[in-house]
Structure 1
Amino acid sequence: MDKFADMEMFVAIVHHRGMASAGRALGLSPATVTARLQNLEQRYGVKLLNRSTRHLSLTDAGALYHQSCIEILESVRATENVLQTGTTEVKGPLKISAPKDIGKQYIAPLLSSFCRKYPDVIPFLYLNDGLSNMAESGLDLVIRYGELADSQLISRKLATSQRVLCASPQYLADYEEPESPTELMAHQCLALIRGNEALQHWYFAANGEQQSISIMPKRYSDDGEVLRQWAIDGEGIVMKSILDVQQDIAQGRLVTLLDGYTKNFSQVSVGQSADLHVIYQSRDYLPKRMRLFLDHLYTAFDAKKNGL
């Protein structure tokens, strides 16, 4: 019974999202992978994967085992490298997901500077606004706005932020500036698509009272950077995180609106933080490349906060 081989097989199943594809990657037949997975579940007396003909998903026990497998295998590889070379190398993949604006403006340049220092680290940067299941996606780090819902994940604030409404001076020359949220219903608004849902219900809070506005968007996109550019081009009003547009505001390309209100896309989160966070699965064991990049990330955002 080779527990390390079983761990590698289980990680491969989750990574490849299927037993047949995991078997091909490992040089094993589908029947062998299936039998070994069944033996693994029988050994521990728990179900690790929910299986159907088209889909695999981790159970709670499976998510715990998967994370432990990753940590143990990384630790073994690092130890073997130290024994063989006498050094702890910084190498391997680093998989990060970030919103498109913040990813392009901040995270991509930070990855470039980090990889110039550690050229054996291979970065994967996924630009999207959704928070997928970290265990199943294989992501190392997720950069997201807002508070953390999953208490099993580790979250650390990178920067203070808030949602703002903004439009270009060109747009405001053609349309009278709104003085209350209800006036937005008569304006050209730009809506973000998240998943399969258009976020066209905007929520506002002021003086202890909340209200929601159903906008009639002029344009839609699932790319926050596209919405930002449309706003700069004078096409309408957009809701963005201040970090995404602070340079545009400073340089006069965009102007903020309804500054006396707290704003968000969700009634639940309208009064909550919209700060930027980095999220990961465990602080008990992190590969050296992850620890070093987190330090790189914290240093960069601390410098930005202090105006350096």
Structure 2
Amino acid sequence: MNKLSDMAMFATIVKLKSMAGAGRELGMSAASVTTRLRALEDRYGVKLLNRTTRHISLTDIGEIYYRSCLEILDSVNETEHLIKQGVRATQGPIKIVAPKDISKLIILPILSEFIAEYPEVTPHLYFDDHVHNIADRGVDIVIRYGELNDSNVISRRLGKSERTLCASPEYLKEHGIPQTPNDLLEHDALVMSSDHEALKTWYFRKGSKLESVVVKAKYLSDDGEIIKELALRGQGIAMKSLLDIKEDIQHGRLVTVLDDYVKNFNSATTENSTDLKVYYLDKRHQPKRIRLFLDFLYHKFAELEKAEKA
């Protein structure tokens, strides 16, 4: 067996977390998979997987080998595709993960323009605010607010944003306008959740002073669009990214409060900690269609920022 097929086998084992499952997918017996894995580990003199009868996990060196396998196999697949199909490098999928609100407002129109220029590209757009590892999810691009803790990616700022507190005029007329963060304790909060954890602690900075408030959640959701809809319906005060609610503010459907504070779901209440950013894997042989889309994305966001300043 050659090294490339060993890489494919190892990546399949990790993906399925099962020797037997990898064997079924590769047309091999579980015993053959186990034998080849042992031979692979013996070849390099390292242990790549921690294995019990019920559980498989990567060792530290196994994690490094696995990421290298994914990168090499992806490059080989891309090369084979171009050779076999004999087509332009702009044909194929682009898998993008982005928040639902910003996708509907901005990303979808940009994608539509891009596909009009490159009709052979097939976009896959997934709504998810909780991606932590691009390689494991098998996506090309992640668009999100704030930082992504993944050392294997490159990041670039798309647009300036900030978190703001907002509510409908009707809600504020009935319940009053909070003047300090502590006033929020008397209000209904519309709370985001992330990885099944409610983000009920809201942080506020004014000058050098940082304070936090644990708000009373009337509703919780892991979908930012739901939180905005509840705010529009007068159900409480929400913490949202300004890019998501800009049009609602302009048309008077939502009103911002406590504007003289910098706000966030964590203590990193700095000016750029909530900016909209794009993340992608640092691939030496990145497909042309992804490079083209990233350049298109940067250009469109630059146009939007220029239009706002005009």
TM-score, shorter chain, exceeding 0.5: yes
Matched AA of 1:220: L
What is the alpha-carbon root mean square deviation over aligned residues?
Answer: 2.5
Matched AA of 2:128: N
Alignment gaps of 5+ in structure 2? none
Question: Aligned equivalents of 2:160 and 2:105: distance in 1?
Answer: 16
Matched AA of 1:262: V
Question: Which sits farther off after the overlay, 1-10 or 60-69?
Answer: 60-69
Distance 1:86 1:218, change over 3 A: closer
Question: Aligned equivalents of 1:282 and 1:50: distance in 2?
Answer: 28
Residue 5 of structure 2 corresponds to residue 5 of structure 1: yes
Please give the TM-score of this superposition, normalised by the length of structure 2: 0.88
1:90 corresponds to which residue? Answer: 90
Question: Aligned equivalents of 1:57 and 1:136: distance in 2?
Answer: 14
1:182 corresponds to which residue? Answer: 182
1:101 corresponds to which residue? Answer: 101
2:156 corresponds to which residue? Answer: 156
Question: Aligned equivalents of 1:81 and 1:129: distance in 2?
Answer: 31
1:240 corresponds to which residue? Answer: 240
2:264 corresponds to which residue? Answer: 264
Question: Aligned equivalents of 1:54 and 1:288: distance in 2?
Answer: 41
**Residue 74 of structure 1 contacts residue 287 of structure 1 at CA under 8 Å; is this kept in 2?**
no
Offset of residue 60 of structure 1 = 4.0
Alignment gaps of 5+ in structure 1? none
Q: Secondary structure at the match of 1:306?
A: helix
| Count of aligned positions | 307
Matched AA of 2:290: M
**Residue 200 of structure 2 contacts residue 216 of structure 2 at CA under 8 Å; is this kept in 1?**
yes
Offset of residue 266 of structure 1 = 1.0
**Residue 132 of structure 2 contacts residue 148 of structure 2 at CA under 8 Å; is this kept in 1?**
no
Offset of residue 293 of structure 1 = 2.2
Distance 1:176 1:26, change over 3 A: same
2:300 corresponds to which residue? Answer: 300
What are the within-5 Å matches in structure 2 for residues 57-96 of structure 1?
Answer: 57-83=57-83, 87-96=87-96
**Residue 78 of structure 1 contacts residue 88 of structure 1 at CA under 8 Å; is this kept in 2?**
no
**Residue 71 of structure 1 contacts residue 286 of structure 1 at CA under 8 Å; is this kept in 2?**
no
Question: Aligned equivalents of 1:51 and 1:96: distance in 2?
Answer: 33
Q: Secondary structure at the match of 1:149?
A: coil
Question: Aligned equivalents of 2:106 and 2:193: distance in 1?
Answer: 22
Distance 1:136 1:75, change over 3 A: closer
2:136 corresponds to which residue? Answer: 136
**Residue 101 of structure 1 contacts residue 244 of structure 1 at CA under 8 Å; is this kept in 2?**
yes
**1:244-287: CA deviation from partner (whole Å, max 9, x where unpaired):** 111111221111110110111112x1236211111122142312
Distance 1:35 1:302, change over 3 A: farther
Offset of residue 119 of structure 1 = 4.4
Question: Aligned equivalents of 2:105 and 2:55: distance in 1?
Answer: 35
Question: Aligned equivalents of 2:95 and 2:17: distance in 1?
Answer: 17
**Residue 165 of structure 2 contacts residue 240 of structure 2 at CA under 8 Å; is this kept in 1?**
yes
**Residue 14 of structure 1 contacts residue 136 of structure 1 at CA under 8 Å; is this kept in 2?**
no
**Residue 98 of structure 2 contacts residue 125 of structure 2 at CA under 8 Å; is this kept in 1?**
yes
Question: Which sits farther off after the overlay, 244-253 or 63-72?
Answer: 63-72
Question: Aligned equivalents of 2:289 and 2:54: distance in 1?
Answer: 34
Distance 1:229 1:209, change over 3 A: same
Matched AA of 1:228: K
**Residue 15 of structure 1 contacts residue 138 of structure 1 at CA under 8 Å; is this kept in 2?**
no
Distance 1:44 1:91, change over 3 A: farther
Q: Secondary structure at the match of 2:228?
A: helix
Question: Which sits farther off after the overlay, 247-256 or 67-76?
Answer: 67-76
**Residue 71 of structure 2 contacts residue 283 of structure 2 at CA under 8 Å; is this kept in 1?**
no
Question: Aligned equivalents of 2:22 and 2:263: distance in 1?
Answer: 45
Question: Which sits farther off after the overlay, 107-116 or 138-147?
Answer: 107-116
Question: Aligned equivalents of 1:118 and 1:33: distance in 2?
Answer: 42
Residue 234 of structure 2 corresponds to residue 223 of structure 1: no
Question: Aligned equivalents of 1:26 and 1:116: distance in 2?
Answer: 39
Question: Aligned equivalents of 1:47 and 1:103: distance in 2?
Answer: 43
Offset of residue 42 of structure 1 = 2.5
Question: Which sits farther off after the overlay, 207-216 or 100-109?
Answer: 100-109
**Residue 91 of structure 1 contacts residue 289 of structure 1 at CA under 8 Å; is this kept in 2?**
yes
Matched AA of 1:231: A
Please give the TM-score of this superposition, normalised by the length of structure 1: 0.88
Distance 1:65 1:167, change over 3 A: same
